[in-house]
């Protein structure tokens, strides 16, 4: 089967997921205790206004019809209005997107080199002290609450040493790099251990394989076998995991952005939750889910394109 | 709860060490939580305006916060709340996930297909975002968090159990039990469940740690436990304002979370290598 056919089949698999996501997101706001009409216009409104709002937005219709209406609006890109910012939710998301994207990419870049080094050391020294040390540090990194780490790092590097700004996003590329360094490091500390664990076990698995034995019996040096044969074969599963993790990173930025006051999607999410700005919460949840599904999709397709053994 | 882990290659010899270390840490926390009243020395909620923002000293081991409350006592009492969040929060995901995984893997068919689509759908959302959205819809509080966990957290358990059941289903002893004419439900509970449950026992440890960390995160964001509860996340949020002058308010609750997380992780890792060695 050609790659093109695989693509089409994988696309068709997306359809039920997308429908499911839209139902969940629709239900999130409808299941909220209280009158949805009040959510639209805020708490202090006369009864007549509420009746009119219900009619205008079809809130007096049965739920399936309301759902159909919601999906119709989604298709034309209408996510509703924020009653706090008084602008369309889609525009709000668009405005807050750049810092979050920047942060996620930055965190990934900071993750890659430590992951490669730590996993390689752990695998080549399997069962010896470097392996144990890396393992314990990894567990600590994974269980450390991101918000606490963020506060502690901004206190140390921001307030005491004054090396980095502790909040905001800055102007221009270099300034962004400077402002987002601590948030990106906080995120990387949490992601790196997961990737290290994965790459380490992939490396160990490859080290045991027959072709490595063959290479050894030819008398090739260990370092050469490792770089030339083992590493390449172990990277693909880790790349795949990295793709899955991008979704987690998007979710993880919710906390990091709040701690460092980065004006991104995560901070928007928290502020909207605190202000009960339901249509923004709904729109963002939808956005995060779509991003997750599309990233996973892209990673699957890329893996299949690189490695002919992978079937979608 | 979704968790991505590779396979550790720990040897049998190291397993009891990790297991003991992790078990000792967790047990110490449980004891502290039970004995909090007599260990802590101060009432965690008592406000002393003569003792505002005192640094750590012999009198106040972890210092005092912006209301003069003793941070050490609050951290100790926090163990009660955070351990409760961890243990109570894991119950619903564990039960629902195990049930779904067992039934779906053993009987297969359209129910299995439907359940697996539901799993796919749930993992399409970033975990924390979906939990946050559900808590936002239900209103802040620990109860909302538990409901959100029940809605989202069962997925990983269902996947783990189902994968085990699919293997066990085709074993000879199951075929033998069927030939004997035993009731499918009896086979499921008596023969399949005990053999499928061990990887779940390992995952529960990691999951409790994650539930505590996310619960503290919610507390920090103002969506979980509410002030003045001595919950570690709430305490860190309280201290954030005073971070440049009084670091100890934030520092110690965070250390408490990390140490407890390490304890549960070691317990899980040790258990995993013990089970691997036993197979």
Residue-wise pLDDT tens digits, B92-106 = 999 999 999 999 999
**Which residues between 168 and 207 in chain A have a beta carbon less than 8 angstroms from any beta carbon of chain B?**
194, 197-202, 204
By Cβ distance, the residue of B120, B126, B209 closest to A288 is B126
pLDDT at B219: 93
pLDDT band per the 50, 70, 90 thresholds, residue A65: confident
More confident residue, A162 or A71: A71
Peptide bond between residue B228 and the one before it cis (omega within 30 degrees of 0) = yes
- Which ipTM score applies to this complex? 0.84
Q: Is the pLDDT of residue A311 over 70?
A: no
Give percent of chain B above pLDDT 90.
Answer: 46
Q: Is the pLDDT of residue B76 over 50?
A: yes
Residue-wise pLDDT tens digits, A11-23 = 888 888 899 999 9
Q: Is the pLDDT of residue B82 over 90?
A: yes
Distance (Å) from the alpha carbon of B201 to chain A's nearest alpha carbon: 18
Q: Average pLDDT for residues A159-167, to the nearest whole number?
A: 77
pTM greater than 0.80: yes
Cα of A193 vs its chain's centroid, Å? 16
Distance (Å) from the alpha carbon of A243 to chain B's nearest alpha carbon: 12
Closest Cα in chain B to A267: B221
pLDDT at B4: 42
Contact B243 A155 (CB under 8 A): yes
Residue-wise pLDDT tens digits, B111-123 = 999 999 899 899 8
Q: Is the pLDDT of residue B8 over 50?
A: no
Number of cross-chain residue pairs from A and B with Cβ atoms under 8 Å apart:
163
Distance CA A312, CA B204 (A): 31
Cα of A269 vs its chain's centroid, Å? 14
pLDDT at A310: 65
Contact B254 A148 (CB under 8 A): yes
Residue-wise pLDDT tens digits, A138-148 = 888 888 888 89
Contact A198 B133 (CB under 8 A): no
Averaged confidence pLDDT in chain A: 83
Averaged confidence pLDDT in chain B: 87
Q: Average pLDDT for residues B166-184, to the nearest whole number?
A: 89
List the Cα angle B108/B112/B116 in 5-degree steps: 145
Distance CA A164, CA B8 (A): 37
String of DSSP letters for chain B:
-----------TTTHHHHHHHHHHHHHHHHHHHHTHHHHH-S-TT---TTSTTPPS-SSSTT-B-TT--BHHHHHHHHHHHHHHHHHHHHHHHHHHHHHHHHHHHHH-HHHHHHHHHHHHHHHTS-HHHHHHHHHHHH-SSHHHHHHHHHHHTHHHHHHHHHHHHHHHHTSHHHHHHHHTT--HHHHIIIIIHHHH-HHHHHHHHHHHHHHHHHHHHHHHHTSSSPTTS--HHHHHHHHHTTTTT-THHHHHHHHHHHHHHHHHHHHHHHHHHHHHHH-
pLDDT at B261: 92
Burial class for A129, CB neighbours closer than 10 Å (0-12, 13-18, 19+): exposed
Strand partners, B70: B64
Best mutation target, A23, A143, A290, to test chain B (most B CBs within 10 A): A143
pLDDT at B137: 86
pLDDT at B3: 42
Closest listed residue to residue A200, CA positions, set A110, A108, A134, A299: A134
Contact B135 A274 (CB under 8 A): no
By Cβ distance, the residue of B121, B128, B265 closest to A20 is B121
More confident residue, A234 or B213: B213
Contact A281 B209 (CB under 8 A): no
Q: Average pLDDT for residues A119-129, to the nearest whole number?
A: 86
Contact A20 B124 (CB under 8 A): yes
Distance CA A249, CA B182 (A): 48
Give, in order, the Cα–Cα distances in Å from B7 to each of A24, B14, B273: 33, 15, 10
Residue-wise pLDDT tens digits, A89-118 = 899 999 999 999 999 999 989 988 898 899
Closest listed residue to residue B56, CA positions, set B43, B67, B71: B71
Q: Is the pLDDT of residue B194 over 70?
A: yes
**Which residues between 111 and 150 in chain A have a beta carbon less than 8 angstroms from any beta carbon of chain B?**
126-127, 135-136, 139-140, 142-149
List the Cα angle A138/A142/A147 in 5-degree steps: 135
pLDDT at A1: 54
Distance CA A193, CA A191 (A): 6
Contact B220 A140 (CB under 8 A): no
Contact B132 A273 (CB under 8 A): yes
Residue-wise pLDDT tens digits, A210-228 = 888 888 888 888 888 888 8
Q: Are A32 and A278 in contact (CB under 8 A)?
A: yes
Residue with tokens 């998301």: A93
């Amino acid at each position: 089967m050609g790659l093109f056919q695989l693509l089409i089949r994988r696309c068709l698999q997306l359809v039920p997921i997308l429908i499911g996501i839209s139902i969940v997101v629709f239900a999130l706001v409808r299941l909220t205790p209280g009158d949805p009409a009040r959510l639209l216009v805020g708490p202090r409104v006369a009864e007549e206004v509420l009746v009119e709002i219900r009619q205008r937005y079809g809130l007096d219709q049965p739920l399936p019809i309301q759902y159909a209406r919601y999906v119709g609006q989604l298709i034309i890109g209408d996510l509703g209005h924020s009653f706090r910012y008084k602008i369309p939710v889609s525009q709000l998301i668009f405005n807050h997107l750049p810092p979050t994207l920047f942060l996620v990419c930055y965190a990934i870049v900071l993750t890659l080199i430590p992951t490669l080094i730590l996993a390689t050391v752990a695998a080549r020294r399997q069962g010896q002290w470097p392996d144990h040390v890396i393992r314990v540090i990894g567990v600590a990194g994974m269980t450390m609450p991101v918000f606490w780490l963020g506060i502690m790092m901004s206190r140390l590097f921001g307030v005491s040493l004054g090396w980095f700004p502790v909040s905001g996003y800055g102007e221009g590329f270099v300034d962004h790099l400077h402002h987002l360094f601590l948030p990106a490091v906080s995120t990387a500390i949490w992601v790196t251990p997961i990737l290290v664990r994965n790459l380490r076990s992939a490396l160990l698995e490859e080290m045991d394989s027959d072709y490595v034995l063959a290479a050894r019996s030819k008398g090739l040096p260990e370092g050469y076998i490792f770089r030339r044969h083992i590493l390449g074969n172990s990277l693909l599963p880790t790349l795949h995991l990295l793709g899955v993790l991008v979704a987690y990173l998007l979710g993880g930025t919710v906390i990091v952005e709040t701690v460092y006051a980065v004006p991104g999607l995560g901070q928007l999410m928290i502020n909207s939750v605190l202000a009960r700005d339901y249509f923004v919460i709904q729109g963002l949840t939808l956005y995060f889910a779509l991003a997750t599904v599309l990233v996973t999709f892209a990673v699957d397709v890329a893996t299949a394109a690189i490695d002919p053994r992978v079937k979608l | 709860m979704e968790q991505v882990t590779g396979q550790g290659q720990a040897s049998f010899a190291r397993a009891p060490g990790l297991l003991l270390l992790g078990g000792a840490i967790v047990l110490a926390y449980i004891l502290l939580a039970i004995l909090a009243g007599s260990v802590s020395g101060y009432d965690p909620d008592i406000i002393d305006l003569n003792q505002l923002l005192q640094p750590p000293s012999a009198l106040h081991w972890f210092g005092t916060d912006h209301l003069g409350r003793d941070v050490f006592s609050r951290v100790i009492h926090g163990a009660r709340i955070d351990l409760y969040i961890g243990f109570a929060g894991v119950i619903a995901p564990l039960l629902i996930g195990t049930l779904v995984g067992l039934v779906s893997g053993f009987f297969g068919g359209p129910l299995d297909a439907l359940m697996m689509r539901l799993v796919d759908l749930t993992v399409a959302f970033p975990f924390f975002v979906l939990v946050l959205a559900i808590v936002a819809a239900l209103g802040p509080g620990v109860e909302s968090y538990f409901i959100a966990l029940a809605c989202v957290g069962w997925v990983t358990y269902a996947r783990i159990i189902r994968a085990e059941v699919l293997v066990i289903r085709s074993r000879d002893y199951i075929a033998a039990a069927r030939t004997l004419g035993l009731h499918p439900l009896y086979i499921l509970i008596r023969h399949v469940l005990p053999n499928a449950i061990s990887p779940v026992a390992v995952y529960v440890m990691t999951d409790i740690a994650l539930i505590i960390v996310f619960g503290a995160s919610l507390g920090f964001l103002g969506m979980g436990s509410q002030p003045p509860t001595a919950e570690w996340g709430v305490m860190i949020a309280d201290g954030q304002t005073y971070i440049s002058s009084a670091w100890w308010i934030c520092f110690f609750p965070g250390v408490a979370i990390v140490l407890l997380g390490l304890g549960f992780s070691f317990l899980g890792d040790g258990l995993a290598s013990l089970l691997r060695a036993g197979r």
